């Protein structure tokens, strides 16, 4: 039982990390797009 709980915990952590990195990627892309838009306006 303990092993299962540990595995579930690790899986949850991995899922969180994946979500976090995806969010960071999206934010980065958004920032890049915003920069392009800003530069395009000048």
**pLDDT tens digits, 2-22:** 888 888 898 888 888 878 888
Residue ranges per domain, the chain? 1-42
Residue of 1 and 41 predicted with greater confidence: 1
Degrees, nearest 5: CA angle 8-3-9: 25
pLDDT of residue 31: 86
What DSSP state is assigned to residue 4? H
Q: What is the DSSP string of 17-34?
A: HHHHHHHHHHHHHHHHHH
pLDDT of residue 37: 65
């Amino acid at each position: 039982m303990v092993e299962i709980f540990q595995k579930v915990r690790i899986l949850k952590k991995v899922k969180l990390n994946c979500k976090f990195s995806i969010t960071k990627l999206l934010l980065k892309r958004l920032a890049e797009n915003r920069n392009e838009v800003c530069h395009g306006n000048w």
